[in-house]
Amino acid sequence: MQIEVMKKVLVLIGFNLLCSCSACVMDRRSFFQIKNCTNDTLMIDFSGVDTLRDWKYWNEQLQSIELPIDAKAKMEFYKATIGSIALPDSCVLADPDMFCLYDTCYIYVIKLQVAKSYPMQKIRAEKRYDKRTVTQSDFCDRVFDFR
């Protein structure tokens, strides 16, 4: 008798799980892409700020890792390279939520060779970077071609 009741309970639980799982709608997040259409390897930063940011702000989520003081400046650059290096004819991802905060955003591009050779202060002072002002409509099919 108890076995039959247990079987019915298990069938009801299974049916309930099946109904709940089929009711879940998985929504994927679609990022914007910035495509490097040049022949150079570039570092690309997508920002809502109209000035070129220090390396430590390029990948803010990685900057919370504590480092010894003497390694901090060099490691900030290497952390900034994660996800921001675009080889020729490749893309980096850009967060579309940036346009929820700002109507106009900025794409900052530095050639990798320049980024390795000069400190950020000198890159800024000598304008060794390219800046593009973009709006959401500039991303055709969620892709912005950097030329």
Hey, what are 48's tokens? 């809502």
The answer to whether residue 10 is domain-embedded is no
Look at residues 117, 95, 100 and name the one whose alpha carbon lies nearest to residue 47. 95
Task: Give 4-56 pLDDT, tens digit per residue.
Answer: 888 888 888 888 777 776 666 666 768 899 999 999 999 999 999 999 998 88
The answer to whether residue 9 is domain-embedded is no
The answer to whether residue 46 is domain-embedded is yes
Q: Looking at the 3D structure of the chain, how many domains does it have?
A: 1
The answer to whether residue 12 is domain-embedded is no
In this prediction the pTM is 0.74
Task: Give 78-127 pLDDT, tens digit per residue.
Answer: 888 888 999 999 999 998 888 888 999 999 999 999 999 999 999 999 99
Q: Domain range spanning residue 133?
A: 30-146
Sequence letter at residue 142: R
The answer to whether residue 25 is domain-embedded is no
Tally helices (H) and strands (E) across the chain.
Answer: 5, 7
The answer to whether residue 111 is domain-embedded is yes
